[in-house]
Chains A and B, each alone.
Chain A
Amino acid sequence: MTRYAVRHATTYEYKGDVVHSHHLLHLTPREFAFQRCLTHSIELDPQPSFTRNDIDAFGNGIARLEYDRAHNKLAVTAQMQVEIFARYLGPLEAAEPWDALRNRLSYHASPMSGADLDACRFRMRSGHVPIKLAFEEYTRDIFVPGCSVATAAHALMGKIYREFKYAPGSTTNRTSILDVLKTRRGVCQDFAHLMIACIRSWGLAARYVSGYIRTVRKGGEAAIGGDASHAWVSVYCPPLGWVDFDPTNDCLVAEDHVTLAWGRDFGDVSPLRGVIVGGGGHKLEVDVRVQPLGI
């Protein structure tokens, strides 16, 4: 088990006054079998005129904010302490063959288990994840008949890690993953979306996980750092359940990752989105610190 303290500070500095705004925050660490939330707080400056805490359609904790008075700066600081538990997986080969799983998740006019239906929510195209033949072609050598879905996903993760260059600034939130596939560069969000598209193009289920990673130096020494939000992919691999793959680091998610939220893609779980009235231009600063804690 590992404990972390995470501080995620976002600051908007607006050129002019923002006279009215609404925001939606996905900044609450999700609790599930491998993660427990010990403390959590979101500090806001200025104070919003209205706040509502809620759970979204995918089970993530959210906060909705409204500002009805003029302000030229918005600072959102989320702080949390979480406990991460080791994930006992079993061998990847133990997962179902991908083609059998695809057939089971596809419609067959008979009842479906709750877990399977839940997986079906993450099988289709979504805003950031188009499903195109190009993704199928790119991964044809991996998805051979009878291969375990977890093994295939693991191979896919390695392929993306090897063939794509991590290049901050080379893409934006709006870059299509078809372009990423062409240029072979991107950041964690692009690699996650690309991997999801490949998995879904074979009729399987994959979801986008938003969170943080502890950065580890070459010598194995833990460092203060991790200067941004992170993202990876969770793949439905029964009977192992959902298995998390990090294509940016070519690793299975274990005790180095802190999970915030999951959804179909970035659009469902972006840490902070909103609509502002006024403001002119804005400057955005994001500061993320992930600090392991002694037990």
Chain B
Amino acid sequence: MDSHGQVRSHWHPLVEGIFEDDARAARRATEYTRRMIVENGITYNVYADRQGRDRPWILDPLPYLISAQEWQTIEAGVAQRAKLLNAVLIDLYGKQELLSQGALPSEIPFGHPSFLWPCTGITPPGDRWLSMYAADLARSADGRWWVIADRTQAPSGPGYALENRQIVRRAFPHLAQAMDVRPLGAFFAALRDELLRDAEEEPLAVVLTPGSFNETYFEHVYLARQLGFPLVEGHDLTVRDEKVFLKTLSGLRRVHTILRRLDDDFCDPVELRVDSALGVPGLLGAIRKGYVTLDNALGSGVLESAAWLGFLPPLAEPLIGEKLRLSSVASWWCGEPPALGYVIANLSSLVIKPTYPNQKLGPIFGSDLNDEEREVLIARIRARPHAFVAQEHLAFSQAPVWYTKNADTFSARALGIRVYAIATANGYRVMPGGLARFASDAHAEIVSMQRGGGSKDIWVLCDSEEASEEATAPIARADRTVHRHHELPSTLVENLFWMGRYAERCDYKTRLLRATLGLRRNLPFRGQAMEICKHFGSTAVFDPEKRFTLRGDISRLGESAARVRSSLSGENWRALTVLQRDFRRAETARSDARETLDSLLLSLAAIAGFALDDMTQDDGWRLMMIGRRLERLQFLAELLSRRLGSEGTPLRQELEWILEIGDSAITYRTRYRAPPVWDTTIDLLVYDERNPRALAFQWRAINTLLIEVAESLGSKPQETLYEAVSKLVAFKYTNLGGEIGLATGPRLILARHLTDLMSASAQLSDQLTSQHFSHLEFDSRAVSA
């Protein structure tokens, strides 16, 4: 809206388009958007949030429009600013002439936690310190755009911007086309090419994340997928002889480029923060030799401070030979005595911010302070003037927002935009769009996702053919999007393996519980059944105990799934979160146990379906399936061997109980049309290759999967199960199918064979671990003397 409260002219087609369409369009679009966010699993983790992790991202369906003409100013200004900031970094980590000449205060870099001394003297390839830069902009009432902050470390949000676009475009399909909105895809293709620019033949780039607890983990997953790079954590990488390697299923693979989403002082615990468990020991050595490129370069975070803003305009001409196009909001660094005087005299009209990000000080609005608070603040500033910056209190321009409780009307919110630029061979290139963020309530002036604001898509309109080239550019070059399976990080595969195991473990524990809950109280073997439940750690649905219980396995399933999110489809991920959520809800509500178990089994069946039908069948998938099959094999073998090893012929009800746990009761009934007896029960649960629950089905499937993995890795398949399996098979031909039924002697032999199979599968699990994940076995830690 403009200063008269009128809708600006380039908005007219949008507003008219929506309301001509249907008066209820707003509500529909809002509902659609909310649904897509949940379904695509777009989340934003807020630290210390009562809602816990994975809070849904907030997206207002109404896009924020910027006219072509207005955009030109922003685009040129942001590209120019990136170039200037890059030049400042070259100097700060090089000759430091800007400091010795007095153009910049030494207090700002030397007191900044992201000024990394070990990085001085490092020259990144092409002197490119900033591969990606973002500017936070806001508009004043007169329509001018101002720079509020610079993001130079690892600017978050481009992935959310792309995801926002995809949802909003679908919410208004014909409008986006009719209005000629500039597409974003080409920007990501350019980023990809840029990251691999200096690399050799068969370059490998990875996205380095601090892990699934990070506030923008969703975006790390999303970026990695868009770019076709593996998503890795610090412990997936290792430095040997000053070269960086990714630990993959097939061994170590050289890494050339790291797009980092990890703050710079965390990147190398040997030379930087010693307490960082997230980094890669020795990384700086590799960077120094130019064997790996980090984007952005380590140390670039030093420019994230409001204190720099006022010093940049006079640097533009000497450093890049141009005048600064975009102004930043008027700022006074209090380290200069005249500025300090001005700030103290005009405090009520200023906003006070910290110079250094580790000061734990939010923006303070001078106008909010009473006399006493003013004096306290002034004393603080006087004691350490270089640690404070004052900024003009800029009234943000407001924008219409739909995202409210009652979605039928617009409301106005303060709004800021984040605009991204990436370095390319021809200078900085700006994403034609970005992330618009609005404040949480109508009076708030602080725009932040952490403080509960929301986001909007930015629609940049074109007025010529400038964008026709963008529209046809492929999102990424096809030859490079192929995710080669030999680049699968070992931890990813290990987590897939465990996800498979936990999913299956939840399944059998649920079945065990459900079958046992259904037993009549007076049945003589009920006591034994309870014993078996106890043995498998499955005594109550909502067991407060966490280890070895169903509840514990459900949360471990969630944890391993969170670590492999980059390999799961949105629907698959959603099914996993819904399962967790439903179980937690049932627990809080103390829902009926059987009902809870029934719905849990349904969810687990959906997850099993995704495993079969919705995943790329690479080696990671194969190991996940091996995990599932091994878990099922071990459990059923143990259950049967325990019963076979104890006295007495089981009652009909006990066999029915076993068949129900083995999910084979219906199969039995249709096949034999008679109450169950031991021989046929054993046949169905152990030997029937057509029964997907039978042991034979598991060992055959495992064998096939092991052969496929071995073929793909060029190794030999494990033969660990062979001996136990051949004994079992031999047993069948001599002992089963007769008229007499199972005698005591053979019964005990069968029990022993099953125990042997159980130990063999445990052994196979260990072998797979040591063969494929052994280099992950240990945690690293710091030592110092």
- Do A and B truly interact? yes
Question: Which residues of A does B touch, CB under 8 Å?
Answer: 10, 12, 19-24, 49-50, 52, 56-58, 64, 66, 68, 106-112, 114, 117, 120-121, 123-125, 127, 131, 133, 136, 173, 264, 267-268, 270-279, 282, 284, 286
In-complex Cβ contact of B241 among A20, A50, A110, A133 (8 A):
A50
Q: Which of A56, A64, A112, A273 touches B99 (beta carbons < 8 Å)?
A: A112
Contact between A108 and B785, CB atoms less than 8 A apart: no
Given contacts A66-B282, A110-B102, A131-B384, 14 further A-B contacts (CB under 8 A): A68-B240, A107-B107, A117-B106, A123-B107, A272-B784, A274-B281, A276-B781, A277-B780, A278-B777, A278-B778, A282-B783, A284-B783, A284-B785, A286-B785
- List 8 A-B pairs, minimum CB-CB distance, nearest first: A107-B105, A124-B111, A275-B281, A120-B106, A278-B778, A57-B117, A22-B282, A273-B784
Q: B237: shortest Cβ distance to chain A, in Å?
A: 12
Asked if B335 and A107 make an inter-chain contact with CB atoms under 8 angstroms apart, the answer reads yes
Given the known inter-chain contacts A66-B282, A173-B784, A276-B780, please indicate yes or no for A114 contacting B100, CB distance below 8 A.
Answer: yes
Whether, in the assembled complex, B666 has its beta carbon less than 8 Å from a beta carbon of chain A, the answer is no
A276 touches B117 (CB 8 A): no
Query: What chain A residues lie within 8 Å of B285 (beta carbons)?
Result: 22, 52, 64
A275 to B99, CA, bound (A): 34
- Binary interface encoding of chain B residues 755-785 relative to chain A, with 1 for a CB under 8 A from any of its CBs, else 0: 0000000000000000000010111111111
Q: When the two chains form their complex, are residues B785 and A57 in contact, meaning their CB atoms are under 8 A apart?
A: no
Contact B780 A273 (CB under 8 A): no
Contact of A273 among B101, B241, B336, B783 (CB under 8 A): B783
Q: A57-B120, A117-B100, A275-B270 are in contact. Are A52 and B242 (CB under 8 A)?
A: yes
Among B335, B384, B783, B785, point to the contact of A275 (Cβ < 8 A): B783
Which residues on the A side are within 8 Å of B363 (C-beta)? none
**B650 interface hit (Cβ, 8 Å):** no
Contact A50/B242 with A111-B100, A284-B785 known, Cβ cut-off 8 Å = yes
Number of residues on chain B facing chain A (CB within 8 A): 42
- Which chain B residues border A108 with CB–CB below 8 Å? 102, 336
Do residues A275 and B101 form an inter-chain contact, with CB atoms below 8 A? Answer: no
21 A-B contacts (beta carbon < 8 Å) = A10-B785, A12-B783, A12-B785, A19-B778, A22-B282, A24-B271, A50-B240, A64-B282, A107-B107, A110-B102, A117-B106, A120-B110, A121-B110, A124-B107, A173-B784, A271-B785, A273-B274, A275-B783, A276-B781, A276-B783, A277-B780
**Chain B: minimal CB distance from A149 (Å):** 18
CB of B383 within 8 A of CB of A273, answer no
Q: What is B's interface to A at a CB cutoff of 8 Å?
A: 96, 99-102, 105-107, 110-111, 117-118, 120-121, 238-242, 269-271, 273-274, 281-282, 285, 335-336, 383-384, 386, 775, 777-785
CB atoms of B241 and A49 under 8 A apart: yes
Known: A20-B238, A57-B121, A66-B241. A272 touches B102 (CB 8 A): no
User: Which of A19, A56, A117, A277 counts the most B-chain CB atoms under 10 A from its CB?
Assistant: A277
Knowing A107-B105, A112-B99, A117-B99, say if A124 contacts B785 (CB, 8 Å): no
* CB atoms of A267 and B274 under 8 A apart: yes
Q: Hey, which chain B residues are within 8 Å of A110, CB to CB?
A: 102
Q: How far is the CA of A264 from the CA of B113 in the complex (A)?
A: 13
With A22-B282, A57-B120, A275-B270 as given contacts, are A107 and B106 in contact (CB-CB < 8 Å)? Answer: yes
Q: How far is the CA of A287 from the CA of B335 in the complex (A)?
A: 46
Chain A residues within an 8 Å CB radius of B121: 57
Shortest beta-carbon distance, A220 to chain B, in Å? 32
B95: min CB distance to chain A, Å = 11
> CA A273 – CA B240 in complex, angstroms?
18
Interface contact B102-A107, CB-CB below 8 Å: yes
Using known A-B contacts A22-B281, A24-B271, A64-B285, determine if residue A117 contacts B96 with beta carbons closer than 8 Å.
yes
Closest to B240 in A: A68
CA distance A58 to B121 in the complex (A): 11
Output the least CB separation between B316 and chain A (Å).
Answer: 17
Which residues of B are found within 8 Å of A66, using beta-carbon distances?
A: 239-241, 282
